[in-house]
Structure 1
Amino acid sequence: MPTDITGRLSLFDRVATHADRFASRAWFFATCVLLVVVWAPSYFLFGSVDTWQLIINTVTTIVTFLLVALLQNTQKRADDAVQHKLNAIAEGLAGLMSHHAGERMDLAECRAELRAAVGLEDRESA
């Protein structure tokens, strides 16, 4: 079982969680669409196509770069939590199989295969 999973989140993890909630809302997408809609006719305000493209490219690149970093953090924590839960289920199932195995070799073999498949160590109960 992973022992490095705690209930406390660091400041960065909390910021990443808020960014995930913020970016996953429909109104965030609508704001992005609105940005493009406002940007498109701004072509006539700038004398150069290069300036016009540079503005949207810079804004979208910065937002994408930051969101990818933050959302990757959130995804990793979610994956770690799922793995932790799966390990707990596998360990509980292996314990249940051990309890009911008794002399039944088929359950003992299945238990050993389950523990090997998910990488659980055999431990003595304290």
Structure 2
Amino acid sequence: MNFAKIAQKLALWAGSPKTFLGALVLLVLWAVSGPFFQFNDTWQLIINTSTTIITFLMVFLIQNTQNRDTDILHLKVDELIRANKNAHNAMLGLESLDLKQLEAMRRHYQAMGEKEAKNLGAEQGLEPKNKIDLNQC
């Protein structure tokens, strides 16, 4: 079994309500056991070490899952661009452009969007009260 399949199964397991509940139960048991161990350094070290190791491993698991989801999303968008006759097929290769080229394209599409927004406002007889900043999400 390869890493991608293992990561996908672990991500599904880690994100489940049962896993969350299990972690919560372990945390409560650890807290309740504090008086029995007189809240000593070893008792604290157990939770610190456990959470550090789990967090360290989860970073890689989450990154793998995020990369997979991003790749899937890109493929779906690429297919929509390819299938749409009015779309620019050059958009299918954006991943190979450097940051300056991407910024230039963003400015080009921003200008197109602002022009379309003005045209839409003019068609409806509206004057824009404030310039819309398309960089803000």
TM-score (norm 1): 0.66
Shift of 1:47: 4.4
Shift of 1:43: 1.2
Find the counterpart in structure 2 of residue 44 from structure 1.
35
Shift of 1:52: 1.5
Q: Is the 8 A contact 1:17 1:74 kept in 2?
A: yes
Q: Is the 8 A contact 2:81 2:92 kept in 1?
A: no
Q: Mind listing any 5+ residue stretches in structure 2 that lack a counterpart?
A: 95-137
- Is 1:90 matched up with 2:81? yes
Partner Cα separation in structure 1 for residue 93 and residue 60 of structure 2: 31
Letter in 1 for 2:19: F
- Is 1:66 matched up with 2:28? no
Partner Cα separation in structure 2 for residue 79 and residue 38 of structure 1: 38
For CA contacts below 8 A with separation 6 or more, give which structure has more relative contact order: 1
Find the counterpart in structure 1 of residue 107 from structure 2.
none
Aligned pairs, number: 94
Shift of 1:120: 4.1
Letter in 2 for 1:75: Q
Find the counterpart in structure 2 of residue 6 from structure 1.
none
Q: Mind listing any 5+ residue stretches in structure 1 that lack a counterpart?
A: 1-9, 98-110, 122-126
Write out aligned runs for 1:1-126 (5 A): 11-47=2-38, 49-93=40-84, 96-97=85-86, 111=87, 114-116=88-90, 118-120=91-93
1:40-71, Cα deviation, whole Å (9 max, x unpaired): 02112324532121100111111111122112
Partner Cα separation in structure 1 for residue 15 and residue 38 of structure 2: 36
Letter in 2 for 1:86: V
Over the matched positions of the two proteins, sequence identity in percent amounts to 37
Q: CA RMSD in A?
A: 2.0
Q: Is the 8 A contact 1:19 1:71 kept in 2?
A: no
TM-score (norm 2): 0.61
Shift of 1:115: 3.6
Partner Cα separation in structure 2 for residue 37 and residue 48 of structure 1: 14
